[in-house]
Structure 1
Amino acid sequence: MGTNYVFQEFDTVELAKKYGTPLYVLSEDILRDKCREVRETFLKVYPNTQAVYASKAFLTKAMCKIIEREGLGLDVVSGGELFTAREAAFPMERVIFHGNNKSFEELEMAIDFGVGRIVVDHQEEIPMIESLAKEKGKVVHCLFRITPSIEGKTHKYIMTGQKDSKFGIPLEIETLKELVEKVQKSSMLSLRGFHFHIGSQLFENHIYEGAIEIIGKLAKELKTNQGMVLEELNVGGGFGIQYRGDEKTKPLSFFTEVIMHSVERIFKEFTLPIPKIIIEPGRWIVGEAGITLYTIGAIKEIPGVRTYASVDGGFPDNPRPALYGAKYDGIIANKAEKEKTYRATIAGKCCESGDILIWDLPVPKLTAGDILAVKNTGAYNYSMANNYNKIPKPAVVLISGDQSNIIVKRETYEDLLRGEALPKHLQGKV
């Protein structure tokens, strides 16, 4: 394979030639290794636990089948994600439906499909779910999403556990007592427990202990005053991975050991039964399983300032650097072993000054046509892709052992216009 960059035994330059660029490449082997770690270090170690993949990180029908076969559940946050799971024949009893503004139609879909849990994010959802449950004659099992007023160390756009959050029910005990009582009186709703999520891309574990202590106190209060027994506690995910110059990816046990030890200590201290514990890793499972391949085009050297190397993608296939300063590492795939004596800022092709994928990347001497591989793009790249500047979305290729298969076709210009229509008064020549 010469000096080309190899990803999971695949020559990335050959992948770029075969499928074109930009190209998302996803390793099934890495995905399954991550799922195996979830089973071996969490599910098999601690009884009465469940792991649910946070599908917002990356979701296709193929991904649904991998997650199903690995024995995990699925966390969805929209009708589209739920529909994808249904089309892949994912077991609906293993689906948890989240979302801070679920529509009536989405809730109806979730109940019709028979999802395992609906996470109530605000109090107005309760009558919506109850009316649908009565109409369809189905008892709905739900969790309350609680905002624990804890801030994780991450970008403010991916913090979710602080008091001032668009997510969850604020930790106001009297309000929560009223909401619990409403559900307890309903014959169509079954409140199984609580959910919280502190934030994404976290590298600290002690904050989970603080959140669990808050939930433990709440559970004690509700059991004493209303007889509610907390059966399930969903502690979310948010486990960070390494990108460029960040902290190293932690093993899952770095987080789960603290979570489980905290649950055992705190619930025993409050003389409460230990609830079922649910985790929702997303990025941690898929982030390092993916790379993105680009072809370098224009190279602009500004003497004494910097060199810009533009690629055939950018903001439309990876908006994270522009949205919240996400940092990535990359390598010139066809010159992988050459000395990196230069620095280049990798620019996207969109008409936006902020469309920069990587600042000052160490590289060898660049020429147009070189292939750039950006590492650890499995999470929140394909799932956040857009068509800004009318740029088609890339294909997604799944590599499995020595096989490669397209799991999402590359969009065409015709695809971009598929939903458009011309009113009659604008049709024809002027």
Structure 2
Amino acid sequence: MTPSHVAGSIHADAGAPQPRWLEVPEDVNALLPELWSRETAKNEQGVLTLAGLTVTEIAEQVGTPAYLLDEDDLRDRAKAFRTAFDGWAVYYAGKSFLCTAVARWVSEEGLGVDVCTGGELAVALRAGVDPATIGLHGNNKSVTELRSALEAGVGRIIVDSFDEIARLGELAEELDRTPRVMVRVTTGVEAHTHEYIATAHEDQKFGFSIAGGAALRALQACHDHPRLELIGIHSHIGSQIFDADGFEVAARRTLRLRAELAKITGVELPELDLGGGFGIAYTTADSPSSPKQLADAMGEIIRSECEALDASVPHLSIEPGRAISGPTTFALYRVGTVKPVELDGGHTRLYVSVDGGMSDNIRTALYGADYSATLASRRSDADPVLARVVGVHCEGGDILVRDEFLPGDVAPGDLIAVPAAGAYSRSMASNYNHVPRPPVVAVRDGQLTTVVRRETIEDLLRLDVG
């Protein structure tokens, strides 16, 4: 597991030239296809291109930093999940990245949209997503959010507490609605990921514990409520998961819970959602499974467990987010300063400061996440050197890429690109140090479309009413 405090991993590496997984590249200019969108490449001059446009052209038009999104790639990834999980319902997890354009694209590709706040719900509705294909999550949904969901007619609400069951029931009575609900349970599965994004172990805020009996009580409460239509069980074991092993335990425990409820009520719940959390490649150390590999493995797990329980196979659903949005986008930065720093043991690390930072990608600082980077504006014949890409913020942990080999002649004015920036970078972006957030610019067939505009200083001042 990655250390939970980024300073720990930084200082742990200080006496070593590089982490074990990072190898000196044979060609420092080369791209690793598994880290980039399908329409991303380098031309003969070593300049990064996206869907027919060079990053130098794009930077001239939209500036830096910027998130550059490959629209065709995002659509293809959404389509790949829909095709691989044939017969399942696939909901795009909007928390990974959501704007009206993306909500519209995934809807056009046959996916539903999973939202977890009133704001995300508003975006999906603004995009024209059919409310019946929207699911509402959240461990502390407000009365306003629940009311909005009921009035819009969302297809399912995933309840997360007894307080919420009571609250939703009262609103359903008031509005004369019968919402379809699922109960989120914690299965006790320890996903091999960072503790903040492993969400199925018992000691955390989400869901009802199966082991403690709360899950069964919550299911019974929803089943007995005259204004709630209980349709199934929901489980989510975490994020950045590379294979189906963890889902096997979760499926077994949720299906046994379903069977236990059926013995009590005589009703076999029709649906089961196994959540999302499917991983992507951020570095050469990551080996994610394809949608088909996941679908085949998870389908077999469900069939086998249902057969063992002599139970019917429920209607199944999943919620991929990162696996769809993550690889579609890279972040583009311009280098401002370059500083070699001598380390213990005679090693040197090149600190490359760019015009973004932890305000546009907090994951490195928050989770100790690893990223890759490439010199994007030219080809270099210089030898590779160990580098760290850092930002503009007044913070020692303001790191974008902790360990990467870049050309030794990287200089102010060069462009640096960081792949796999589509998931959570913009979603978790902030205005730390009063830095405006970058735009999200989609590229398709050589055409640029701004889907989220760049913030300005004027935007920040407009909110400051003092």
In structure 1, what is the equivalent of residue 427 of structure 2?
383
User: Pick from 332, 352, 361: which aligns with 1:293?
Assistant: 332
Q: CA shift at 1:354, angstroms?
A: 0.3
Asked if 1:131 is matched to 2:170, the reply is: yes
Q: CA shift at 1:179, angstroms?
A: 2.8
CA distance, structure 2, for counterparts of residue 326 and residue 57 of structure 1: 15
In structure 2, what is the equivalent of residue 428 of structure 1?
none
In structure 1, what is the equivalent of residue 37 of structure 2?
none
CA distance, structure 1, for counterparts of residue 383 and residue 373 of structure 2: 12
The one-character-per-residue Cα deviations of 1:44-85 (angstroms, maximum 9, x if unpaired) are: xxx3x1000000000000001101110100000101100111
CA distance, structure 2, for counterparts of residue 174 and residue 346 of structure 1: 48
Find the residue that maps to 1:68 and give its secondary structure.
helix
CA distance, structure 2, for counterparts of residue 30 and residue 330 of structure 1: 20
**One-letter code of the match for 1:220?**
A
Q: CA shift at 1:240, angstroms?
A: 0.6
User: Pick from 396, 421, 427: which aligns with 2:465?
Assistant: 421
CA distance, structure 2, for counterparts of residue 236 and residue 201 of structure 1: 12
In structure 2, what is the equivalent of residue 171 of structure 1?
210
In structure 1, what is the equivalent of residue 15 of structure 2?
none
**One-letter code of the match for 2:198?**
M
CA distance, structure 2, for counterparts of residue 338 and residue 83 of structure 1: 50
Q: CA shift at 1:337, angstroms?
A: 5.2
In structure 2, what is the equivalent of residue 68 of structure 1?
107
Find the residue that maps to 2:377 and give its secondary structure.
helix
CA distance, structure 1, for counterparts of residue 224 and residue 341 of structure 2: 70
In structure 2, what is the equivalent of residue 412 of structure 1?
456
TM-score by length of 2: 0.87
Find the residue that maps to 2:430 and give its secondary structure.
coil
Contact 2:185–2:215 at 8 Å: present in 1 too?
A: no
**One-letter code of the match for 1:410?**
R
Contact 1:73–1:95 at 8 Å: present in 2 too?
A: yes
**One-letter code of the match for 2:319?**
E
CA distance, structure 1, for counterparts of residue 203 and residue 425 of structure 2: 27
In structure 2, what is the equivalent of residue 397 of structure 1?
441
**One-letter code of the match for 2:69?**
L
TM-score by length of 1: 0.94
Map 1:220-239 onto structure 2 (within 5 A): 220-239=259-278
Map 1:132-151 onto structure 2 (within 5 A): 132-151=171-190
Map 1:106-125 onto structure 2 (within 5 A): 106-125=145-164
In structure 2, what is the equivalent of residue 370 of structure 1?
414
Q: CA shift at 1:100, angstroms?
A: 1.0
Asked if 1:4 is matched to 2:47, the reply is: yes
Find the residue that maps to 1:245 and give its secondary structure.
coil
Q: CA shift at 1:9, angstroms?
A: 3.0
RMSD: 1.4
CA distance, structure 2, for counterparts of residue 128 and residue 416 of structure 1: 36
Map 1:272-311 onto structure 2 (within 5 A): 272-303=311-342, 305-311=348-354
**One-letter code of the match for 2:387?**
A
CA distance, structure 1, for counterparts of residue 264 and residue 458 of structure 2: 61
In structure 2, what is the equivalent of residue 194 of structure 1?
233
Asked if 1:315 is matched to 2:339, the reply is: no
CA distance, structure 2, for counterparts of residue 210 and residue 175 of structure 1: 19
Q: CA shift at 1:174, angstroms?
A: 4.5
In structure 2, what is the equivalent of residue 23 of structure 1?
66
Contact 1:332–1:373 at 8 Å: present in 2 too?
A: yes
Map 1:212-223 onto structure 2 (within 5 A): 212-223=251-262
CA distance, structure 1, for counterparts of residue 74 and residue 413 of structure 2: 30
The runs of 5 or more residues in structure 1 that have no matched partner are 423-430
The one-character-per-residue Cα deviations of 1:179-234 (angstroms, maximum 9, x if unpaired) are: 33332232210000000000000113111111111112111111112223121000
Find the residue that maps to 1:146 and give its secondary structure.
strand
Q: CA shift at 1:172, angstroms?
A: 4.4
Alpha carbons of structure 1 residues 289 and 238: separation in structure 2 relative to 1, 3 Å: same
CA distance, structure 1, for counterparts of residue 383 and residue 255 of structure 2: 53
CA distance, structure 1, for counterparts of residue 383 and residue 267 of structure 2: 62
Number of aligned pairs? Answer: 418
Contact 1:123–1:179 at 8 Å: present in 2 too?
A: yes
CA distance, structure 1, for counterparts of residue 315 and residue 171 of structure 2: 27
Contact 1:339–1:363 at 8 Å: present in 2 too?
A: no
CA distance, structure 1, for counterparts of residue 258 and residue 450 of structure 2: 48
Identity %: 38
Asked if 1:93 is matched to 2:137, the reply is: no
In structure 2, what is the equivalent of residue 255 of structure 1?
294
Contact 1:5–1:336 at 8 Å: present in 2 too?
A: no
The one-character-per-residue Cα deviations of 1:304-354 (angstroms, maximum 9, x if unpaired) are: 542211100010000000001111111111124544432321111000000
Contact 1:4–1:337 at 8 Å: present in 2 too?
A: no
Asked if 1:79 is matched to 2:123, the reply is: no
Q: CA shift at 1:109, angstroms?
A: 1.0
Contact 1:59–1:383 at 8 Å: present in 2 too?
A: yes
